[in-house]
Chain A
Amino acid sequence: MSLEMLQNIWIGLIAVLWIGYFVLEGFDFGVGVLLPVVAKNEAERRTVLTTLGPVWDGNEVWLLVAGGATFAAFPEWYATLFSGFYLALLLILVALIVRGVAFEFRSKRGDVGWRRRWDIAITVASFVPALLWGVAFANIVRGVPLQLDANNNSQFVGNFFDLLNPYALIGGLTTLALFVTHGAVFLALKTEGDIRVRANKVAGQTGLVAAVLAVVFGLWTQLAYSNNPISWLPLALAVVAWVATLGMNRLGREGWAFVTSAVTMGMVVLFLFTCLYPNVMPSTLDPAATLTIHNASSTEYTLRLMTWVAVVFTPIVLVYQAWTYWVFRKRLSPSQIPNPHEGALDLPHEVHV
């Protein structure tokens, strides 16, 4: 395999990791944002959160691996992107930290105020990254102010507020609306009773908002920033899959609605990557400072080595993660939550194994 081929494989693999992340943590974010909307009492709130319980942490690892893979395969991209988007990433980090502990700590105590505070934390900390990932990706596709420094490295010379341009904000609202709908579709599939009914209804409403935003954002991206006409294809597929999602949701075919919704998330990522290719971070100031899969990559040795690692481990990971979803495939209902108002740490008797 030549270096160029390996670079192509790795941009493909990184796209796959982001697809995994958007598909999986996308619904986690949506569920978090919708918590106050779809759950009206304590047992319902706990039911909603328990749908994420066994999987949210594994879902988040897709982000960690995407970050690690970018570091390993395209270190220049990793360095420029992460240092350039410092404050945006800090906000995302704070949100992910708060959200993770909120899931784990919330039900440990029965105190109403305690739970109320963690509920707010979950909603806000799901909202923020759902919005900011869209803002970040939109900025990458649009291009950011990069300049070559004395050592010939591309450096971000803008600031945090440069990232908050109208185009990127529409990108952020698009991912937010898509994730919220994806989360609602997931909840409709995974719950019974009132939550299921509400989630179905919410998905129909936010799904339309997402459709409008996605069409505006998609066309704007395609017409203004795409490097490749082929990116029309994932865009079209995303639209078709989304229409199918809305239709299936309306028909109450929750399994199919989730599948098509997941396809949409995947196609959105693929669309963004095909718009960029072969760039990974274009410069708005100096074409020489634009990072591409060629000038940002690792050496042939590292890429080849990492290819083998990915070939061996990725299928294994996919198998056991899929198995987890199979194990926890059943719908949940609020009646299954024992003593919903009691703190988990305050129960002296464990019931059943």
Chain B
Amino acid sequence: MNALDLARWQFGITTVYHFLFVPLTIGTSFLVAIMQTAWFRTGDERWLRATKFFGKLLLINFAMGVVTGIVQEFQFGMAWSDYSRFVGDIFGAPLAVEGLASFFLESTFLGLWIFGWDRLSRGLHLTTIWLASIGTMLSAYFILAANSFMQHPVGYAYNPVTGRAELQDFGRVLFQNTTVTTFFHTITSCFLVSGTMVLGVSLWLMMRGKSVDVMRKTLSVGIISVLIAGIGVVFTGDAQAKIMVQQQPMKMAAAEGLFNTSAPAPFSLFKLGSIDGSAEYFSIDIPGLLSFMATGDWNGEVKGINDLQAEYTAKFGPGNYAPYVPLVFWAFRAMIGLGLIAVLFALFVWWRTRKGKVPSNKWLGWAAVTCVLFPLGGISAGWIFTEMGRQPWIVFGLMKTADGVSPTLSTGTALISLVTLTVLYGVLAIIEIGLLVRAVKIGPPETVELLPVDDDADNGRTLTFSY
């Protein structure tokens, strides 16, 4: 492996890892804000216990999201300096805005929320969790605008003198349809993840007879979140697919392993074939489905890899313009399949717990604690699909990934950093999972004693939260 391969592995590993914590933070901060609002409005202590409990899980998770996020911002410059030079005029702007408008907001107000239970009035304290939640979503918007530029560059001009892409219209970068649909697809999938987590944890504790009164309420929050998010993911994904066919037809062709342009084009649930598409050994097809996903018409034409390859060779010069098809093909199916399992599981749990029933099957207990892995796996597969499906480009049609890597990066340095970060991340994952399991096993506080909020209280008063 050379420095380029190592840098790509590092980016892949650190980004997928970071994005295990991000969706949980985005979705859970919102759901916790909902729970706290319910307590604020009804005064029902069960909602307060739910807020405290899921708040703990949120914080364990948030810490990991924050620290792994710093790596993301730094490694563009560290490992991808030629990319950074080329697009810095455009790509840096949403990143800087993200920091100024969202990172400050989420970190400052989450700090206030964690430590401010006895320092802020109830309404003000509730506001802090909402602001933190809004901060996480704003952050997602800006970084997805930057990513969407890589998928579909707009609002720029190439300057031959400086040899770089320069920003012409920031509004187009921020509000192009790629950005908007990607944002909603990502946010809905975050709620799929968090909803499943809340649902699974609630079900598991209910089955163990712990805080059943609280967990029944949060179980509903989880189920509703998954079902609404599930519908949202499907519609936004559909919109995204149609845009993708226009903007990156090669990605869609690779998603199906469609080598020859077809009308109608089928969608395979399963396929075994040779990598270059010359032979197909076995497949289960749904006729016309790919045409429908791509064009909205069951007989619509979908371009195949071979035609696109010829088209791109004519346009960009000789080279291989197809991504690695088996990976893209299976990542696409994993994304859809794992997401679907989460939705079906939520429906099943709703059925088994309706009218106050508490199921007791052993396997369901296991399913409850592990079910969050399905949508998390789905969301990772989605990112692997969209990023690997864009290859060989780092910015579609403008710059190839191989040209973006830092020319000064040696194989040794790349290897040291890949190994260091991977080992560190692995160790932290074990620690984090251990803590989450511990927190879940203990469950919500059985009682929460209320003291009046008094900003001018004596210094000696016991803290509600301390490190």
Measured CB to CB, the residues of A under 8 A from B are 46-47, 49-50, 52-58, 60-61, 63-65, 67-73, 75-76, 78-84, 86-87, 89-90, 93-94, 96-98, 100-101, 103-109, 149, 151-153, 155-157, 192, 298-299, 301-302, 305-306, 309-310, 313-314, 317, 320-321, 324, 327-328, 330-333, 335-338, 344-353
Q: Name the residue on B nearest A151 (C-beta).
A: B163
Partner of B112, one of A69, A302, A324: A324
Contact between A345 and B435, CB atoms less than 8 A apart: yes
Complex Cα spacing A75 to B438, Å: 45
Contact between A68 and B464, CB atoms less than 8 A apart: no
Contact between B63 and A100, CB atoms less than 8 A apart: yes
User: A53-B114, A338-B466, A346-B438 provided; 17 other pairs, C-beta below 8 A?
Assistant: A46-B467, A50-B115, A54-B116, A67-B73, A82-B74, A89-B74, A97-B68, A103-B63, A153-B82, A299-B89, A324-B111, A333-B460, A336-B463, A337-B462, A345-B435, A350-B449, A353-B450
Contact between B48 and A83, CB atoms less than 8 A apart: no
Contact between A65 and B103, CB atoms less than 8 A apart: yes
Q: Is B180 an interface residue (CB 8 A)?
A: no
Complex Cα spacing A55 to B92, Å: 26
Q: Is B84 an interface residue (CB 8 A)?
A: yes
Q: Name the residue on A nearest B39 (C-beta).
A: A353
If the complex has contacts A101-B64, A337-B466, are A94 and B408 also in contact, measured as CB distance less than 8 A? no
If the complex has contacts A82-B74, A89-B74, are A75 and B85 also in contact, measured as CB distance less than 8 A? yes
Q: Is B209 an interface residue (CB 8 A)?
A: no
Complex Cα spacing A299 to B99, Å: 20
B445-467 contacts to A (CB < 8 Å): 445-451, 453, 459-467
* Chain B hits for A67, CB < 8 A: 73-74, 77, 99
Contact between A352 and B118, CB atoms less than 8 A apart: yes
Partner of B459, one of A64, A306, A333: A333
Contact between A100 and B96, CB atoms less than 8 A apart: no
Q: Is B348 an interface residue (CB 8 A)?
A: no
Partner of B463, one of A78, A104, A302, A337: A337
Complex Cα spacing A12 to B191, Å: 41
* Chain A hits for B428, CB < 8 A: 97, 101
Measured CB to CB, the residues of B under 8 A from A are 48-49, 52, 56, 59-60, 62-64, 66-71, 73-74, 76-79, 81-82, 84-85, 87-93, 95-101, 103-105, 107-112, 114-120, 163-164, 166-168, 170, 406-409, 413, 416-417, 420-421, 424, 428, 431-432, 435, 438-439, 442, 445-451, 453, 459-467
Q: Name the residue on B nearest A57 (C-beta).
A: B107
Q: Name the residue on B nearest A352 (C-beta).
A: B451
* Chain A hits for B111, CB < 8 A: 53-58, 324
If the complex has contacts A50-B463, A350-B447, are A64 and B103 also in contact, measured as CB distance less than 8 A? yes
* Chain B hits for A151, CB < 8 A: 163
Partner of A106, one of B409, B449, B467: B467
Contact between B104 and A346, CB atoms less than 8 A apart: no
Contact between A53 and B439, CB atoms less than 8 A apart: no
Q: Name the residue on A nearest B167 (C-beta).
A: A302
Q: Name the residue on B nearest A330 (C-beta).
A: B459
Q: Name the residue on A nearest B59 (C-beta).
A: A104
* Chain A hits for B109, CB < 8 A: 320
Contact between A108 and B78, CB atoms less than 8 A apart: no
Complex Cα spacing A80 to B78, Å: 8
B142 to chain A, nearest CB (A): 10
Contact between B70 and A97, CB atoms less than 8 A apart: yes
Contact between A86 and B99, CB atoms less than 8 A apart: no
Q: 14 A-B Cβ contacts within 8 A?
A: A49-B466, A53-B465, A55-B111, A57-B107, A75-B88, A86-B417, A108-B60, A313-B104, A320-B104, A336-B463, A345-B56, A350-B445, A351-B464, A352-B118
* Chain A hits for B104, CB < 8 A: 58, 61, 65, 313, 317, 320-321
Contact between B88 and A101, CB atoms less than 8 A apart: no
* Chain B hits for A351, CB < 8 A: 449, 462, 464
Interface majority SS on A: helix, strand, loop or mixed? helix
If the complex has contacts A75-B89, A157-B408, A337-B463, are A305 and B451 also in contact, measured as CB distance less than 8 A? no
* Chain A hits for B63, CB < 8 A: 100-101, 103-105
| B52, B66, B116, B417 pick with most chain A CB within 10 angstroms | B66
Partner of A93, one of B70, B96, B167, B453: B70
Partner of B78, one of A89, A301, A344: A89
Q: Name the residue on A nearest B109 (C-beta).
A: A320
Partner of B447, one of A47, A69, A73, A349: A349
Contact between B466 and A50, CB atoms less than 8 A apart: yes
B10 to chain A, nearest CB (A): 10
Complex Cα spacing A72 to B88, Å: 6
* Chain A hits for B116, CB < 8 A: 54, 327-328
Complex Cα spacing A353 to B91, Å: 44
Partner of B446, one of A87, A100, A306, A348: A348
* Chain B hits for A76, CB < 8 A: 85, 88
Complex Cα spacing A317 to B103, Å: 10
A299 to chain B, nearest CB (A): 5
* Chain A hits for B451, CB < 8 A: 352-353
Complex Cα spacing A153 to B85, Å: 9
Q: Name the residue on B nearest A66 (C-beta).
A: B99
* Chain B hits for A65, CB < 8 A: 96, 99-100, 103-104
Complex Cα spacing A17 to B446, Å: 45
Contact between B85 and A64, CB atoms less than 8 A apart: no
Contact between B438 and A345, CB atoms less than 8 A apart: yes
Partner of B120, one of A60, A83, A327, A345: A327
Complex Cα spacing A104 to B240, Å: 38
Contact between A345 and B442, CB atoms less than 8 A apart: yes
Contact between B89 and A309, CB atoms less than 8 A apart: no
Partner of B89, one of A55, A64, A298, A332: A298
* Chain B hits for A84, CB < 8 A: 408
A128 to chain B, nearest CB (A): 13
Contact between B450 and A83, CB atoms less than 8 A apart: no
Complex Cα spacing A156 to B119, Å: 50
Contact between A309 and B67, CB atoms less than 8 A apart: no
If the complex has contacts A83-B77, A83-B409, A301-B168, are A104 and B60 also in contact, measured as CB distance less than 8 A? yes
Contact between B92 and A90, CB atoms less than 8 A apart: no
* Chain B hits for A55, CB < 8 A: 111
